[in-house]
Structure 1
Amino acid sequence: MKFETDKIMDEYFNYLRHYRGVNEKTIARYRATIRDVLSYGVTKKGTDKFLKSLKKYKESSIQTKIVIAKSFIKYLYDRGYIKENYLANAKAPRFQRLPKYLTDDEFKKVIEGMNEYYKALAIFLRNTGLRISEYYNLTKKDIRVNGEHVELRIKGKGNKERVLLIEKKLLDLANEYGLFENKRSIRAIQKYFNKHGIHPHLLRHSFAVEFLNRGGAINQLQAILGHSNIAITDIYTKVTSNNVVIKTF
């Protein structure tokens, strides 16, 4: 079936906006890939050419483009624009981006130039592995002091709760600089950290890698980070040193 390129794109993007809740930034990323699909023709031959054209891109980009293209072709098929879902069996390359992290020395260097509030916050996040949203939602009622240790009741993704045990001196640091009473907005925190070349999730990654490097167990780390699947946590094992030094022969 023939159709007007611009018209079908507008229709599809409206579908993404109103029925899938996709934001404009994501739609902008979709646009170039969908134009490429349409330029080769929405046929078996055309979609095969599109897939072959992706070889020039890195694996992560190929994965993204195939996901976008598959969604678009399925949309056309479901609405009767085409008679076959040409990309139903197309498989994106398996790609897993290794997490970046800071060593202790790198972390100390980064926080040197921060003001006292954000320095304390960076230390708190680096030593708890909390997501920024988890820290932001943490209140005094979620904190229980038990001698030299403190229990934090964390509400994670999907409203799943977990209890995190930390040293009291970390809570003392947080209280000294008002990390619970005078919270900055998540946006303000991200903006300030970005100015210093880091982001909150980098601190979470750094905590995870350091935990394993110090001999922590993967299942313990899963519980601490609040991962529902240990396969998610396992990515950190690919960047830990395990205290093994590869010597030159």
Structure 2
Amino acid sequence: MNIADAVDSFHQYVLVEKGLSPQTWVSYLEDLEAFFQYFKNKSSTEDLLESDLYEFLRFELSLGLSIATALRRLSSTRSFYLFLKKEGFYQGNIPEIETPKKPKLLPNCLSEDEVDLLLNAPNLSTPSGLRDKAMLETMYASGLRVSELIKLEKGQVNLTKGVVTVFGKGAKERKVPIADFTIEYITRYINEVRNFSKNKSSKYLFLSRNGEPISRIYFFKQVKKYALQAGISTNVSPHTLRHSFATHLLNHGAQLRVVQEMLGHTNIATTQIYTHISSEKIKKDYDKVMK
């Protein structure tokens, strides 16, 4: 794969799959530009070597940059390497790099009222609006990753039992319940749109107007569009719905282990970040009352 296409694919991954902000992507891009400015002779991912990372670090330090800045740039480039390896475009080793600790930022989370506004933004009189409504409802009701949502197959959704079978990271299977109103909109989408699509024999549940599976970047843009229509000022991505799903469950008394299972987290420490969000909400509500 040529470098420009690889960076573009990484761009989509950072924004959609990782749910990072456009501002974060700008930082990634600046670091990658510095890397490829130094390695001008590399036009393909096949040209990349593990030793390039070490050479780049030495070069950055020779410019008089601080260790923190040089390591940050190296970390961005390493993330690019990791993405390429995940996608099968890089076969070499990737060194471990210790970077300066940064305070862990809590993920964006919508209030329940904001979620209602977002879910009600699609125009249900159009095929794409009804499909997007079903997708948004499914994501919020189940906490799916965006990659899991767009790859969801018809056979994975049992509307009779109200259960979605998900194959997450490492092909790990989990079963997630979905609410009656979510079932209602999936059923409407199937009956009114999906059954009349150009490629109705496709195994995938959610299809574009051309009968192809929905892409991550397209769904990301749709979520952004609906957030804007709903007047939501928070930086919203598909990942925001997953974060909101987990936080709202905990706010309503769900057990941490249950939320861990529904999100498909291997380590409960990953899920515990949502307890911090819930605690912050409690403190904000307390401060409102006491002021």
> Which residue number corresponds to residue 133 of structure 1?
147
For 1:145-188, what per-residue CA distance to the aligned partner results, in whole angstroms no more than 9, with x for missing partners?
A: 55xx4221111111111111223442222120237645231232
How is 1:79-90 mapped onto 2 (pairs within 5 angstroms)? none
Q: 2:223 aligns with which of 169, 174, 193?
A: 193
Could you tell me how far 1:114 is from its partner in structure 2?
2.2
Contact kept, 8 Å, 1:120 with 1:173, in 2: the verdict is yes
Q: Give the Cα separation in 2 of the matches to 1:234 and 1:134.
A: 22
> Which residue number corresponds to residue 43 of structure 1?
none
> Which residue number corresponds to residue 165 of structure 1?
177
Note if 1:120 corresponds to 2:134.
yes
Q: Give the Cα separation in 2 of the matches to 1:106 and 1:131.
A: 20
Could you tell me how far 1:203 is from its partner in structure 2?
0.6
RMSD (CA atoms): 3.9
Which amino acid is 1:10 matched to?
F
Q: Normalization by structure 2: what TM-score?
A: 0.57
Could you tell me how far 1:115 is from its partner in structure 2?
2.1
Which has the higher Rg, Structure 1 or Structure 2?
Answer: 1
Give the stretch that moved more between structures: 177-186 or 133-142: 177-186
Aligned length: 202
Unaligned runs of 5+ in 2: 1-34, 80-95, 125-129, 195-203, 209-213, 228-235
Could you tell me how far 1:200 is from its partner in structure 2?
1.1
Q: 1:67 aligns with which of 63, 75, 87?
A: 75
Note if 1:246 corresponds to 2:276.
no
Which amino acid is 2:218 matched to?
A
How is 1:161-240 mapped onto 2 (pairs within 5 angstroms)? 161-178=173-190, 181-184=205-208, 185-186=214-215, 187-197=217-227, 198-240=236-278
Note if 1:10 corresponds to 2:39.
yes
Q: 2:112 aligns with which of 104, 109, 115?
A: 104
Secondary structure of the residue that 1:102 maps to in structure 2?
coil
Q: Normalization by structure 1: what TM-score?
A: 0.65
For 1:74-120, what per-residue CA distance to the aligned partner results, in whole angstroms no more than 9, with x for missing partners?
A: xxxxxxxxxxxxxx996511431211011111122234432222233
Give the stretch that moved more between structures: 122-131 or 169-178: 169-178
Could you tell me how far 1:20 is from its partner in structure 2?
5.8
